[in-house]
Amino acid sequence: MRNNTGVLLGRLMRNIMRSPDTIITVAIMPILMMLLFVYVFGGAMETGTDNYVNYLLPGILLMAIASGIGYTSFRLFGDVQSGVMARLVTMPIKRSSLLWSHVLTSLVSNALTVIIVILVALMIGFRTSANILEWLAVAGILAMFTMALTWLAVIPGLVAKSMEGATAFSYPLIFLPFISSAFVPTETMPTILRVFAENQPVSSIVNAIRALWYEGSIGNDIWTALAWCVGIMVIAYFFASKQFKRQLG
């Protein structure tokens, strides 16, 4: 069997390029949230920073990614329900390519969304002293986070019975940054919420990005963030692959 991941990736990307409003729609909500928090609530936020958009942006980027991976489930669900996936399975194509093409499409489309959000953030005052290596480290963390959530998105894309069911799982992920260090320091939260916020993946990822952008140092948060991403990705990959084999042979 041939590994045609690139061909299948091209097919999915052409579908997205024919309808670029998908990427724009995914970017709109995080951008509106960023503008709302910066210009409406920013003056009241005590974060210890002079520029609230600098504090806010890492969490907004994670929200954008969490919103974007819902389309992975949507596209995969469409392929399964329309019979396209079953048709591809009968062709001399490596089985893993069928899922990896969707995962890589998610990686590319979410990267475009992240770039759009960062450009808007620059226009409203985002600034960083990070060098090229620190920017690459931030890009790597965001890519790992995207991969982890995308493999998670593959599961409902395969098992859902309706389009709404395929995409609904992303809603809790979109709002997970609200119970983290993304918008305010966790020290301001009640004890139960603070314990949860400090021990969930979003906080460690947000803190790692802030450290790279503004502090120029890599603390323990980056290793915790990578451990979360790798752990989620490995577990999701296992169950997604198992479901794929069970469902399509």
Question: Among 30-34, 66-70, 80-84, 140-144, which stretch is predicted with the lowest mean pLDDT?
Answer: 80-84
Q: What is the pLDDT of residues 205-244, one digit of tens each?
A: 999 999 999 876 677 888 999 999 999 999 999 999 888 8
Give me the pLDDT at residue 203, please: 93
Contact in structure between 226 and 141 (CB atoms under 8 Å) = yes
Is the pLDDT at 84 greater than 80? The verdict is no
Give me the sign of the Cα torsion angle 43, 48, 52, 57. Answer: negative
Q: What is the pLDDT of residues 188-213, one digit of tens each?
A: 889 999 999 999 999 999 999 999 99
Reported as a pLDDT band with limits 50, 70 and 90, residue 48 is: low
Distances in whole angstroms, Cα of residue 235 to Cα of each of 150, 201, 249: 12, 15, 20
Contact in structure between 74 and 163 (CB atoms under 8 Å) = yes
* Helix, strand, coil share of the chain (percent; to 5): 80, 0, 20
Distances in whole angstroms, Cα of residue 150 to Cα of each of 50, 90, 108, 142, 155: 35, 25, 12, 12, 9
Domain that holds residue 143: 5-248
Is the pLDDT at 66 greater than 50? The verdict is yes
Q: What is the pLDDT of residues 156-171, one digit of tens each?
A: 888 888 877 777 878 8
pTM value is: 0.88
DSSP 236: H
Give me the pLDDT at residue 200, please: 92
Give me the pLDDT at residue 58, please: 94
**In the structure encoding, which two tokens stand for residue 35, read together?**
């503008």
How many structural domains compose the chain? 1
